[in-house]
Structure 1
Amino acid sequence: MSTKSAKINELLNRKRKIQEEKVEEPSPSTSNPTPDPKPLEEKDEKTEKAKKALLFEAKRAKERSDSMGPQGWIRPKCLETNKRFLQNTLKSTLTRKERERLNGK
């Protein structure tokens, strides 16, 4: 029991030390202007979305590998859209005037 509590205390002390280091901020200087917080928030939002997408894809790959074996880790090609075919199909449904109007933009 004592070794467990010692390890827990050690981990808590490390966590507190890291939090204390984060609290200390350097003094502002005129040579380094503070960046605009809005782009950072947008960047953080994008990275969060990317992380979620990667984790989702990894989870799906694991499920596929459980059912299909090692080949399941490879992403199936049927999920990709043939964009050229789709674009040509959509264009073929338009009338000549609509196509000319879209190409003119």
Structure 2
Amino acid sequence: MDSAKLIFAEQLAGCSTGDKVRFLACVEEYKDGIVVVRDGGHRIKCDVSAVLPQIRVYRHEWVHCVGRKRADDSVDVLLFQSAVGMDLARYREMVVRRQAQDAFRP
């Protein structure tokens, strides 16, 4: 699996269509293979049909998503897994550090 860009939910709009992205967010709703996740005020529609029936979706659960950005700012999910127990504050700090490091790579 090629490397995914580690982002916050609010950064998805700045990614190009087809970019592989990775983010954490909280499940808000689920219907017919579409999961809507939220981080802060930013909602993302995630098409999880490619990973069904291997996943379980629980409302208000934090999840780790990896997928490709669509033109409509939704995501075709390739990996969807629970992030229960993750220290969210520490995760956010790590994302900021990782993005700073990536900014200096050629």
Structure of higher CA gyration radius: 1
Which one has the bigger strand percentage?
A: 2
TM over 0.5: no
Give the TM-score range, shorter chain. Answer: under 0.3
Q: Output the TM-score relative to the length of structure 1.
A: 0.24
Higher relative contact order (CA 8 A, sep 6+): 2
Q: Output the TM-score relative to the length of structure 2.
A: 0.24
Which one has the bigger helix percentage?
A: 1
